[in-house]
Structure 1
Amino acid sequence: MSQLFPNIKPFRQETLEVSGGHTLYIEQSGTPGGIPVAYLHGGPGGCIGENYRRFFDPEKYWIIGFDQRGCGKSTPFGLLENNHSQALVADVLTIQDYLKIDKWLLFGGSWGSTLALLVAIEQPARVIGLILRGIFLAREQDYAWYLAKNGGAAQLFPEYYQAFLAPIQKLLADFSIVDAYYHIFTNGNEVQKMAAIKAWYLWEARISWLHCQVDEDKLLPDDIHKAISLALLECHFIKHKCFIAENAILQKLDKIKHLPATIIHGRYDTVCKIEAAYSLAENWQNSQLHIIPEAGHSAGEKAVTQALCSATQDMAKYLKEQE
């Protein structure tokens, strides 16, 4: 399997009110009665987009995607209040209840891998397996790798890192990097906010691909709302350490060790360090780790796309054999 599956449209689109004043956008595609799979997008603050459906054979999978709190088509847009990991976990379980799904497969990349792990740990009996890409374990070392001046990403991309620091340079005497950005996002004027949003978004976009040959202007999304929610919510979650204790995922991994998992990570992923994927696999006896050579972080890189499509096919076969 070297290509994405055919492009399909959702057969149902709707909204669902959840706790704390938030309403989620949800869509379903594929085959009702097939293997139910929840697609958990990255960020925090990303959105489901369209191509995510193409990782799954629509004849085998019942594909459920949703925009997490404060982003995409979910409302209110950009709301930070009642927007934290515990609420997102509860949202996934609420959707599962709403759709009357007993057990489902969790598929997530980057922050989506974090959320998938948190959901599985919370309710392992309601999960049949996991497919994870670009592992982020929300540890101090993971934040440092991505954002710190002496972190791996900054060392590999010093010129991009300087551009990332530019909007907050005058604040660094009094604030940490994350707090400086958060201060601008929540207190700055519109000009300051947009400059900071662009810098935060471009930092991740520039380092997500091993071979980034796209025009810099094309790295910013056509819909600026995508950049706003990603920058704002990513900063909000990182400022609060993703609302989970240090190393909480690995410490609670015993709860899901029995579940089958495929772990996919680009060898040269500079957003999420490869050590996280390796440590997760080392502590998960029922997992398979696939390190993808000549690949970075993005699911759009050809070799990563191929690995994800193969993983969904292999998981479907495995689950069929277990019936």
Structure 2
Amino acid sequence: MQTLYPDIKPWQRHHIAVEPPHILYVDESGNPEGIPVLFIHGGPGGGCSGGDRSFFDPELYRIIIFDQRGSGRSTPHAALESNSTDKLVADIEVIREKLGIERWVIFGGSWGSTLGLVYAETWPERVLAMILRGIFLCRPQDLHWFYQDGASHVFPDYWQDFIDQIPENERGNLMAAYYRQLTGDNEIQQMAAAKAWSIWEGRCATLRPNPDVVESFADPHRALSLSRIEAHYFVNKAFLDDNQIIRNADRLAGIPGVIVHGRYDMVCPLDNAFALHQVWPDAELQIIRDAGHSSREPGIVDALVKATDMIAKKLLHKTDATA
């Protein structure tokens, strides 16, 4: 089993102003002359952590991570103003141009796979390859599964804690009910809703219970941005047309990819990845038999690190062959 590369520190940090009031946190690590790779975090609203750099061989990759609008170390925190999918795609292009990168590898999981796919379908000529985990197509049925009726049947005990936050007469549309609390003026209610929303996701993210994952989701700073921004996106159907990613998949033609998905992913069920693979034949689908949704599960880590190593080897071989 492959494990993560050692944690490393960035050699460059940036604060990039985009559309007001947003300022994005971006950092670079690894080899300045290596293959550029962009790590796209989940949520939306989840933010990056230092360990996210560890999926990549630091001798081979120039590793770029960034916190999306309102997330992590980007400011203002948990802001919903001017925060939509098309604006995040535009931000990625701003980062690419700012860093002087012509083409790069896209790496993303969960919502990071969503945003990575939309970016690649918008700017396919900028993408060398893609490594995606826990595919999230953001279709209405995907949102309904996790926030209304689906995962609730697998985790009825966790679900009860999730719905306890919402009055019974508002439970017919839980995303809308949560959105009202998360954007309301009652700060105590807002934080209670943020933690309930985020903990529900953290509890369902792993095949086996993992207190460390749940604790990270319960962190107040992360919970507030994750819950507010997710609810904002999801009540707006992620600012995507119905089944947009699948309908536009012809734009991925020629882009090599690896899709890694846990068979027992209860946050983003496997049919997301299966549907994507059917319309993106240039990608290899790897179904991890003993994993759920989290990027830190051993089988997922093994597949992702092997994928980044393999993509680097192929790209470097291609470069040597054309030199």
Contiguous gaps of at least 5 residues in structure 2: none
8 Å CA contact 1:258–1:285 kept in 2: the answer is no
Matched, 1:186 2:183: yes
Matched, 1:206 2:168: no
Distance in 1 of aligned mates of 2:53 and 2:314: 20
CA displacement, residues 49-98 of structure 1 (integer Å, 9 cap, x when unaligned): 11011000000000000000001110111110100000000000100000
Distance in 2 of aligned mates of 1:246 and 1:99: 33
> How big is the alpha-carbon RMSD for the aligned residues of Structure 1 and Structure 2?
1.5
Matching residue of 2:250 = 254
Matching residue of 2:72 = 72
Distance in 2 of aligned mates of 1:213 and 1:57: 26
Matching residue of 1:312 = 308
Matched, 1:272 2:268: yes
CA 213–70 in structure 1, closer or farther in 2 if over 3 Å, else same? closer
The total of aligned residue pairs comes to 319
Distance in 2 of aligned mates of 1:64 and 1:250: 27
SS at match of 1:168: coil
CA 220–132 in structure 1, closer or farther in 2 if over 3 Å, else same? closer
Matched, 1:282 2:270: no
Matching residue of 1:109 = 109
CA displacement, residues 94-117 of structure 1 (integer Å, 9 cap, x when unaligned): 000001100000000000000000
Give 2:249's aligned amino acid: L
Where do 1:2-41 residues align within 5 Å? 2-41=2-41
Matched, 1:55 2:44: no
Task: Output the TM-score relative to the length of structure 2.
Answer: 0.96
SS at match of 1:64: strand
Task: Output the TM-score relative to the length of structure 1.
Answer: 0.96
Distance in 2 of aligned mates of 1:136 and 1:4: 23
Deviation of 1:188 after TM superposition, in Å, equals: 4.6
Distance in 2 of aligned mates of 1:304 and 1:177: 30
Distance in 2 of aligned mates of 1:171 and 1:31: 55
Deviation of 1:10 after TM superposition, in Å, equals: 0.2
Matching residue of 1:160 = 158
Contiguous gaps of at least 5 residues in structure 1: none
Distance in 2 of aligned mates of 1:219 and 1:122: 32
Structure 1 vs Structure 2: percent identity of aligned residues?
45
CA 220–111 in structure 1, closer or farther in 2 if over 3 Å, else same? closer
Matched, 1:196 2:211: no
Deviation of 1:235 after TM superposition, in Å, equals: 0.6
